[in-house]
């Protein structure tokens, strides 16, 4: 049982706030939704509007709104009649606006429509009229404004959905909003679907009432962590909270179990995770998580006691929770009250092993024929261990490039001499092949720098006379290390253990002396207290221990460390006269150092890196006059020094290159001495909430290459950039959060600027001079809500490769056809309304992200095939996953004359008819895993030797479960005929109006049967051959007879009389309208709703690049009709009128809308 203690539990922190009118929904829908959210482990505040007294909203409600991240107002018919509901809604809107995008409102329209909330009907306007009799005009005016604001937010209509079905989908949406960051899985690894499926089966997510633990065991390097990461990425969105504690064995040894407990609680959303000791952590986990459905991964566990202190009982977690543990140990812990499953990680199959090895040895998925025999021999010897395949393959790559088969033979001979179970000995072959410098750097990383950013280590190695950039590249190329997120070193635990074993084995040569590197605090304390052998020690860490944090270092302990180049302390202190101590120290990491410095004469003349982060020091700290004023110092890190209000006088540190003031929350001033730092290259003052401006003195330092001053949380932004910012001729990276002031024109003088990040700024515009940034490769305006348009000078950014306008207020893009280097455009969540046709000119474009672009109406068709990755889940059609997906490849089908896709020409890609086995494999994979919107990666993950396009077409045209097979009905015949008469052979558009029918199916049916059948009755002209009506029956009676059998209503079609139809406009179905029978037609895949097609003959259009073409535009329209009892359509009459669309060019634009309420 978890130990208890007497203390008052803090108030619950909520994630979701439900606001509803009790009499309307409490006993039905709201109750179902509330319990569905709670069952998913989501913390929900359910307001009880009926029991409140008085005139003011209670403190508990205010606190719940303040704590929650997601607000869910449930608009019912009497919602606006409740003053409490309106007060809550006003508070929710206010809290969202203050949150800088961290909070969201997800409205549900229960039995009130979006027009009711927008006050376009009598329902809520009547409620406000009643309120005007009781409340002040200002109050009612505020409520009116709040309702209108809420009406602008996209939400969901309950309509005819069952409560349980709706609640399930809504919970999924909320879970996605609350999700954690997914784990990186290197793209060079082979995704082992069978192994993932085996783990998924043991997790059994359908069994939602138990708490289950899956223990994955197997030898090191077999792929346990990679498997856990892959499944974590698949599942984390389905839980109320997720945590992945990587490399627990190492972390527990260095930082203690309390650190892991704290990390677990923080990952799972517990705000006040102030763990003081391990018993305290056990109590908090068991109390705070017992009602939360969570997914937790404990990676590389070697001590069962650790699990007892992190997940000792099933009752510590909410129903439906899943725990996954990876370990080399077969012994399984006791998991009281829960179910335990065991999965033994198996070696890779031969085909998978050969694929992985080939990727590293040849950069391809198959070995070349002249090296196939050697490759297969290596794969057989390594025994299917992914790590060994990766390392050995990387080492052999250079030999392959020189066609050196002799070296391959030597490697095979060396591997054959080592038993398969001795993985480290096999890995050591690659270590032994390194030169001396690369070996030293490898050992440094293995002992001290895993998960550490590389910059400081680079400075140390350079000071040692090494060539670290070359050595690090050599280690990366050899797959001995990796550079993960934010340029941090990462290393497989087997390689880490190999490096540490090599260091420990140094004592075999000289048993009386300590190792060169000491990373365990127990060993460090022992060495400090001894007299002999200290001259051997080059690196020492005393970073974590209850005893070591108060350890006092005197000259007696330090005098013999003649060669120490790295010292890491946490909370210790120096005492007494320290003259001549640590003469070769290059890097001092003294985190959490105390505010009182007790040493004297500690002059570290060779000190290059000083890290005092998270310390209690201020600008008056006595240590500045000694260790802080080293003339050789190049890096000073003061991260999270919360007592610092002003930087110290740094005029002595003339060689300083990096000054890090990140999260110094009380810093008010940067000392003027910074102006003397002529070598300064990097300044980071992010999160310094009281530092209002970029200091003018910085602009006198023409060597500065990077400035980062980003606001954090809900704090104030930097007020402005100095006018002299343009003098920084070497500035390459500028990242600032600006207030409402426009950046100065001098910003455009930064000719060396490569990256400009203005995320979260409140400015209203960019200066026209931005076009002068000729080297700019990255521009981010993420969450710049005040900017509505970009300056025309953007076209001059010829080097721009990535543009991020996600969550911004930008409604239109200027002409971008000149931005030929552009590869990525991120518009996610923006209010962009249309995409310029000139985007088709961007030949290097790889990714266009338009997810959650709810205002987007126009998308160019006939996009360049190089646009391989399009995230397009918006606009949402209806609810949740029922959404229209603009599938670019569908629109490219009409461009087949361009030739077969390059993916079909790859080696070993199968062509020709599909076999039943292939059909079964593709169908089974998609039904289990879906496509994830990424057809490009699907063949590999599904185990198919087909190109991605072939897989997509096979699924869309033959295997989808909702495909209609068999004869076409008369209704379908007439829909096809009518649409063909108006738009010609636009088969994908016609297919969108016939649910279940495929583009190929309709085209084949037309060519083989329907066209011949019609030849006996009348001839249908394709558009543009002559007057449209000549191909249809000529009299009203004939036309009426022609369309009389139609049961579904034909959507609105606006068709030009020209032979070239250039723009498709798809007006959204009005979800709140019950009068339009067009809703009987549902989209099949890409296009939905009424279609307006704009031709360029006789039209007047204004293009996105500023050019125009004057032509007279003729427009034929088939109107929406209501279905009548005799199934006849009424009012089939073309009308003619002109159209003018801003930004249309000489190719098609698809305009699509959303029936989600806005």
As a whole number of angstroms, the distance between CA 89 and CA 193 comes to: 46
Averaged over 135-148, what is the pLDDT?
Answer: 91
Last residue of a domain, one of 507, 541, 562: 507
Render pLDDT for 316-339 as a digit per residue (tens, 0 to 9). Answer: 998 889 999 998 887 888 888 888
The reported pLDDT for the residue numbered 883 is 30
Is residue 295 a contact partner of residue 229, using CB atoms and an 8 Å limit? no
Same-domain status, 243 and 352? no
| Structure-model confidence comparison of residues 660 and 784, the more confident one | 660
The reported pLDDT for the residue numbered 148 is 92
778 pLDDT above the threshold of 90: yes
Is residue 791 a contact partner of residue 769, using CB atoms and an 8 Å limit? no
Beta bridge mates, 213: 323, 340
Does residue 219 fall inside a structural domain? yes
Q: Which helix (H) or strand (E) holds 920?
A: helix 916-929
CB within 8 Å of 430: residues ≥ 6 apart = 391, 392, 394, 395, 478, 479, 480
Render pLDDT for 816-848 as a digit per residue (tens, 0 to 9). Answer: 888 999 999 998 888 888 888 888 888 888 888
* CATH code of 233's domain: 3.40.50.300
What number of CA atoms fall less than 13 Å from residue 423's CA on the CB side? Answer: 22
Cα–Cα distances (Å) from 1092 to 787, 854, 1089, 1158, in that order, read 30, 20, 10, 21
The length of the chain is 1158
The reported pLDDT for the residue numbered 933 is 58
The reported pLDDT for the residue numbered 804 is 94
706 burial level (CB within 10 Å; 0-12, 13-18, 19+): middle
The reported pLDDT for the residue numbered 635 is 96
Q: Helices marked H in 178-277 — which ranges?
A: 193-203, 224-235, 248-255, 257-267
Instruction: Fill in the DSSP letter of residue 346.
Output: P
The reported pLDDT for the residue numbered 1015 is 65
Cα–Cα distances (Å) from 1104 to 767, 834, 859, 1112, 1145, in that order, read 20, 10, 13, 19, 7
The reported pLDDT for the residue numbered 479 is 81
637 burial level (CB within 10 Å; 0-12, 13-18, 19+): buried
Q: For residues 731-748, b (16+ Cβ closer than 10 Å) or e, as one string?
A: bbbbbbbbeeebbbebbb
**Which strands, in side-by-side order, build the sheet including 241-245?**
241-245, 294-298, 322-327, 212-217, 339-344
Beta strands in 439-561 (DSSP E): 482-483, 489-490, 517-518, 539-542, 552-553
Beta bridge mates, 341: 214
Does residue 257 fall inside a structural domain? yes
As a whole number of angstroms, the distance between CA 727 and CA 749 comes to: 7
Residue 526, helix vs strand vs coil: helix
1064 pLDDT above the threshold of 70: no
Averaged over 881-899, what is the pLDDT?
Answer: 35
Beta strands in 593-657 (DSSP E): 598-600, 609-611, 635-637
The reported pLDDT for the residue numbered 168 is 77
Does residue 215 fall inside a structural domain? yes
Ramachandran angles phi, psi of 51, nearest 5°: -100, 0
The reported pLDDT for the residue numbered 1114 is 34
Q: Which of 176-185, 474-483, 974-983 has the lowest mean pLDDT?
A: 176-185
Contacts by residues 1040-1045 (CB-CB < 8 Å, ≥ 24 positions apart): 1040/1128, 1040/1129, 1040/1132, 1042/974, 1043/974, 1043/978, 1043/1128, 1043/1129, 1043/1132, 1044/1126, 1044/1127, 1044/1128, 1044/1129, 1045/970, 1045/971, 1045/974, 1045/1127
Averaged over 755-770, what is the pLDDT?
Answer: 90
3-state SS of 319-342 is: CCCEEEEEECCCCCCCCECCEEEE
* CATH code of 982's domain: 1.10.10.60
Same-domain status, 251 and 277? yes
Does residue 648 fall inside a structural domain? no
Q: Which residue has the tokens 């992985």?
A: 356
| Structure-model confidence comparison of residues 401 and 1156, the more confident one | 401
Catalogue the active-site residues.
88
pTM here is: 0.59
Render pLDDT for 256-281 as a digit per residue (tens, 0 to 9). Answer: 888 899 889 888 877 666 787 888 88
Is residue 854 a contact partner of residue 154, using CB atoms and an 8 Å limit? yes
The pLDDT mean for the chain works out to: 76
Q: For residues 668-686, b (16+ Cβ closer than 10 Å) or e, as one string?
A: eebbeebbbbeebbbbbbb
Ramachandran angles phi, psi of 780, nearest 5°: -120, 125
| Structure-model confidence comparison of residues 1029 and 1037, the more confident one | 1037
1135 pLDDT above the threshold of 70: no
Count CB-CB contacts under 10 A for residue 296: 24
| Structure-model confidence comparison of residues 1048 and 409, the more confident one | 409
Same-domain status, 366 and 412? yes
Structure token digits, residue 756: 């400009």
Last residue of a domain, one of 149, 177, 205: 177
Helices and strands, number each (H, E), in the chain: 35, 41
Does residue 1158 fall inside a structural domain? no
Does residue 258 fall inside a structural domain? yes
Instruction: Please report which confidence band the pLDDT of residue 178 belongs to, taking 50, 70 and 90 as the band edges.
Output: low
Same-domain status, 501 and 374? no
Q: Which residue has the tokens 């030849």?
A: 1015
Cα angle value 681/659/579 (rounded, 5°): 115
Averaged over 500-519, what is the pLDDT?
Answer: 87
As a whole number of angstroms, the distance between CA 452 and CA 496 comes to: 14
Render pLDDT for 453-462 as a digit per residue (tens, 0 to 9). Answer: 899 999 999 9
Same-domain status, 205 and 304? yes
Instruction: Fill in the DSSP letter of residue 112.
Output: S
Nearest to 642 by CA among 669, 618, 668: 618
Count CB-CB contacts under 10 A for residue 547: 10
Count CB-CB contacts under 10 A for residue 102: 11
Same-domain status, 160 and 206? no
Same-domain status, 51 and 164? yes
As a whole number of angstroms, the distance between CA 148 and CA 125 comes to: 11
| Structure-model confidence comparison of residues 714 and 1085, the more confident one | 714
Beta bridge mates, 804: 780, 826
Cα–Cα distances (Å) from 455 to 468, 519, 657, 911, in that order, read 10, 20, 12, 49
Render pLDDT for 513-554 as a digit per residue (tens, 0 to 9). Answer: 889 999 988 888 888 888 778 889 999 998 765 555 678 888
Q: Which helix (H) or strand (E) holds 646?
A: none
Residue 655, helix vs strand vs coil: coil
The reported pLDDT for the residue numbered 108 is 92
Structure token digits, residue 338: 């829960």
The reported pLDDT for the residue numbered 443 is 96
Ramachandran angles phi, psi of 894, nearest 5°: -70, -10
Structure token digits, residue 933: 């919107």
Contacts by residues 894-903 (CB-CB < 8 Å, ≥ 24 positions apart): 894/861, 894/862, 894/986, 894/987, 894/988, 895/862, 895/865, 898/865, 901/865, 901/947, 901/949, 902/865, 903/947, 903/948, 903/949
The reported pLDDT for the residue numbered 302 is 83
The reported pLDDT for the residue numbered 733 is 96
Render pLDDT for 718-761 as a digit per residue (tens, 0 to 9). Answer: 677 888 999 999 999 999 988 777 889 999 999 999 999 998 88
CB within 8 Å of 1015: residues ≥ 6 apart = none
Does residue 749 fall inside a structural domain? no
As a whole number of angstroms, the distance between CA 526 and CA 1103 comes to: 76
- Structurally, the chain folds into a number of domains equal to 6
Is residue 766 a contact partner of residue 793, using CB atoms and an 8 Å limit? no
504 pLDDT above the threshold of 60: yes
Q: Which of 483-487, 670-674, 1048-1052 has the lowest mean pLDDT?
A: 1048-1052
Structure token digits, residue 103: 């909070």
Is residue 339 a contact partner of residue 213, using CB atoms and an 8 Å limit? yes
Q: Compute the chain's Rg from CA coordinates.
A: 33
649 pLDDT above the threshold of 70: yes
As a whole number of angstroms, the distance between CA 1055 and CA 1028 comes to: 9
Nearest to 283 by CA among 291, 273, 292: 273
Q: Determine the longest span between alpha carbons in the chain, in angstroms.
A: 111
Query: Which structural domain, as residue segments, surrounds residue 452?
Result: 434-507
The reported pLDDT for the residue numbered 237 is 66
* CATH code of 385's domain: 1.10.8
Same-domain status, 307 and 367? no
* CATH code of 89's domain: 3.40.50.10140
The reported pLDDT for the residue numbered 205 is 83
Same-domain status, 46 and 162? yes
Cα–Cα distances (Å) from 749 to 704, 721, 753, 767, 774, in that order, read 15, 13, 9, 11, 9
Strands 1053-1055 and 1116-1118: antiparallel
CB within 8 Å of 403: residues ≥ 6 apart = none
Same-domain status, 955 and 976? no
Q: Could you give the percent of the chain with pLDDT greater than 90?
A: 22
Q: Helices marked H in 50-192 — which ranges?
A: 59-67, 83-98, 114-117, 122-132, 137-151, 163-177
Render pLDDT for 28-60 as a digit per residue (tens, 0 to 9). Answer: 788 888 877 876 667 788 765 433 444 455 667
Same-domain status, 127 and 87? yes
Last residue of a domain, one of 418, 451, 480: 418
Structure token digits, residue 339: 């179910």
Cα–Cα distances (Å) from 829 to 382, 807, 934, in that order, read 48, 5, 20
As a whole number of angstroms, the distance between CA 721 and CA 512 comes to: 60
Is residue 561 a contact partner of residue 537, using CB atoms and an 8 Å limit? yes
Instruction: Please report which confidence band the pLDDT of residue 1107 belongs to, taking 50, 70 and 90 as the band edges.
Output: very low
The reported pLDDT for the residue numbered 3 is 42
Does residue 603 fall inside a structural domain? no
Same-domain status, 31 and 167? yes
Q: Which residue has the tokens 């072939």?
A: 950
């Amino acid at each position: 049982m978890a130990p208890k203690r007497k203390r008052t539990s803090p108030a619950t922190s909520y994630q979701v706030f439900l606001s509803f009118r009790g009499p309307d929904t409490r006993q039905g829908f709201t109750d179902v939704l509330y319990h569905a959210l709670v069952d998913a482990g989501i913390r929900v505040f359910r307001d009880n509007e009926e029991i409140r007294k008085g005139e003011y909203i209670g403190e508990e409600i205010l606190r719940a709104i303040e704590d929650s991240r997601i607000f869910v107002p449930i608009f019912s018919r009497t919602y606006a009649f409740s003053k409490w509901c309106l007060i809550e809604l006003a508070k929710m809107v206010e809290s969202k606006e203050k949150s800088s995008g961290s909070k969201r409102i997800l409205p549900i329209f229960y039995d009130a429509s979006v027009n009711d909330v927008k006050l376009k009907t009598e329902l809520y306007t009547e409620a406000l009229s009643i309120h005007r009799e009781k409340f002040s005009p200002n109050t009612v005016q505020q409520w009116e404004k709040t309702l209108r604001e809420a009406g602008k937010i996209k939400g969901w209509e309950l309509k005819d959905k069952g409560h349980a079905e709706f609640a399930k989908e809504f919970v999924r949406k909320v879970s996605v909003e609350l999700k954690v960051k997914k784990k990186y899985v290197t793209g060079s690894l082979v995704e082992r679907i069978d192994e993932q499926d085996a783990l998924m089966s043991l997790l059994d997510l359908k069994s939602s009432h138990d708490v289950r633990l899956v223990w994955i065991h197997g030898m090191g390097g077999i792929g346990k962590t990679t498997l856990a990461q892959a499944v974590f990425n698949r599942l984390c969105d389905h839980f109320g909270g997720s945590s992945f504690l990587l490399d627990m064995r190492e972390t527990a040894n260095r930082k203690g179990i309390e650190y892991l407990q704290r990390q677990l609680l923080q990952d799972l959303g517990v705000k006040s995770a102030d763990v003081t000791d391990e018993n305290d952590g056990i109590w908090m986990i068991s109390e705070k998580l017992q009602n939360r459905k969570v997914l937790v991964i404990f990676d590389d566990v070697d001590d069962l006691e650790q699990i007892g202190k992190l997940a000792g009982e099933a009752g510590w977690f909410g129903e439906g929770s899943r725990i996954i543990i990876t370990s080399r140990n077969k012994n399984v812990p006791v998991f009281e009250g829960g179910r335990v499953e065991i999965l033994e990680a198996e070696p890779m199959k031969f085909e998978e092993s050969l694929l992985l090895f080939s990727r590293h040895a040849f950069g391809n998925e198959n070995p070349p024929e002249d090296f196939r025999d050697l490759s297969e021999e290596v794969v057989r010897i390594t025994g299917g261990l992914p790590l060994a395949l990766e390392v050995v393959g990387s080492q052999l790559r250079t030999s392959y490039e020189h066609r050196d088969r002799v070296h391959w033979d030597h490697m095979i001979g060396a591997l054959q001499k080592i038993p398969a179970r001795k993985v480290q000995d096999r890995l050591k072959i690659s270590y032994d092949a390194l030169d001396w410098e690369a070996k030293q750097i490898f050992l440094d990383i293995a002992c001290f720098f895993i998960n550490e950013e590389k910059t400081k280590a680079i400075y140390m190695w350079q000071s040692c006379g090494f060539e670290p950039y070359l050595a690090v590249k050599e280690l990366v190329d050899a797959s001995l290390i990796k550079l993960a997120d934010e340029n941090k070193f990462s290393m497989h635990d087997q390689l880490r253990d190999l490096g540490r074993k090599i260091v420990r084995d140094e004592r075999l040569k000289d048993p009386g002396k300590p190792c060169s590197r000491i990373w365990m605090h127990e060993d460090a304390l022992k060495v400090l207290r001894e007299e002999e052998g200290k001259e051997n020690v080059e690196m020492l860490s005393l970073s974590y221990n209850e005893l070591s944090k108060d350890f006092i270092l005197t000259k007696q302990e330090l005098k013999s460390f003649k060669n120490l180049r790295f010292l890491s302390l946490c909370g210790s202190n120096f005492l007494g006269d320290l003259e001549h101590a640590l003469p070769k120290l290059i890097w001092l990491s003294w985190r959490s150092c105390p505010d009182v410095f007790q040493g004297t004469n500690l002059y570290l003349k060779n000190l290059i890196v000083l890290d005092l982060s998270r310390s209690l020091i201020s600008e008056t700290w006595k240590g500045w006059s000694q260790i802080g004023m080293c003339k050789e110092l190049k890096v000073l890190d003061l991260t999270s020094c919360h007592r610092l209000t002003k930087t110290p006088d740094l005029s002595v540190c003339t060689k300083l290159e990096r000054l890090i003031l990140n999260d110094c929350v009380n810093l008010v001033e940067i000392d003027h001495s910074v102006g003397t730092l002529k070598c300064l290259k990097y300044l980071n003052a992010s999160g310094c909430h009281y530092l209002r401006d970029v200091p003018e003195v910085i602009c006198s330092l023409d060597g500065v290459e990077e400035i980062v001053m980003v606001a954090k949380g809900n704090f104030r932004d930097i007020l402005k950039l100095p006018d002299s910012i343009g003098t920084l001729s070497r500035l390459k990276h500028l990242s600032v959060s600006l207030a409402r002031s426009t950046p100065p024109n001098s910003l455009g003088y930064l000719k060396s600027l490569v990256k400009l990040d203005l995320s979260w700024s409140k400015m209203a515009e960019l200066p026209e001079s931005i076009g002068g940034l000729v080297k700019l490769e990255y521009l981010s305006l993420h969450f710049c809500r005040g900017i509505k348009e970009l300056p025309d000078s953007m076209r001059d950014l010829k080097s721009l490769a990535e543009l991020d306008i996600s969550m911004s207020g930008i409604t239109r893009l200027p002409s971008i056809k000149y931005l030929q280097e552009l590869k990525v455009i991120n518009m996610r969540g923006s209010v962009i309304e249309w995409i310029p046709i000139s985007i088709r000119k961007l030949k290097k474009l790889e990714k266009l992200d338009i997810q959650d672009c709810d205002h987007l109406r126009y998308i160019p068709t006939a996009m360049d095939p190089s646009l391989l990755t399009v995230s397009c889940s918006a606009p949402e059609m209806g609810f949740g996953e029922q959404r229209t997906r603009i599938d670019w490849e569908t629109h490219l089908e009409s461009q087949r004359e361009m030739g077969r896709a390059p993916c079909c020409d790859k080696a070993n890609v199968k062509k020709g008819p599909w076999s039943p086995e292939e059909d079964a494999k593709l169908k089974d994979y998609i039904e289990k895993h879906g496509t994830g919107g990424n057809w490009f990666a699907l063949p590999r993950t599904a185990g198919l030797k087909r190109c991605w396009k072939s897989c997509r077409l096979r699924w869309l045209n033959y295997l989808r479960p909702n495909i209609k097979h068999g004869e076409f009905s008369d209704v379908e015949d007439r829909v096809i005929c009518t649409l063909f008469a108006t738009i010609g052979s636009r088969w994908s558009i016609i297919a969108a109006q016939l649910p279940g029918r495929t583009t190929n199916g309709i085209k084949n049916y037309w060519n083989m049967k329907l066209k011949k059948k019609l030849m006996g009755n009348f001839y249908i002209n394709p558009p543009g051959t002559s007057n449209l009506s000549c191909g249809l029956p000529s009299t009203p009676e004939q036309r009426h007879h022609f369309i009389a059998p139609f049961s579904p209503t034909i959507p609105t079609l606006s068709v030009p009389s020209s032979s070239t139809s250039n723009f498709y406009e798809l007006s959204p179905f009005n979800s709140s309208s019950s009068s339009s029978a067009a809703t009987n037609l549902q989209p099949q895949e890409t296009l939905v709703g009424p279609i307006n097609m704009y031709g360029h003959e006789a039209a007047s259009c204004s293009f996105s690049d500023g050019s125009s073409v004057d032509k007279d535009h003729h427009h034929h329209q088939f109107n929406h009709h209501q279905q009548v009892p005799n199934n006849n359509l009424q009012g089939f009459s073309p009308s003619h009128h002109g159209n003018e669309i801003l930004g249309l060019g000489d190719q098609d634009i698809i305009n699509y809308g959303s029936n989600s309420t806005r």
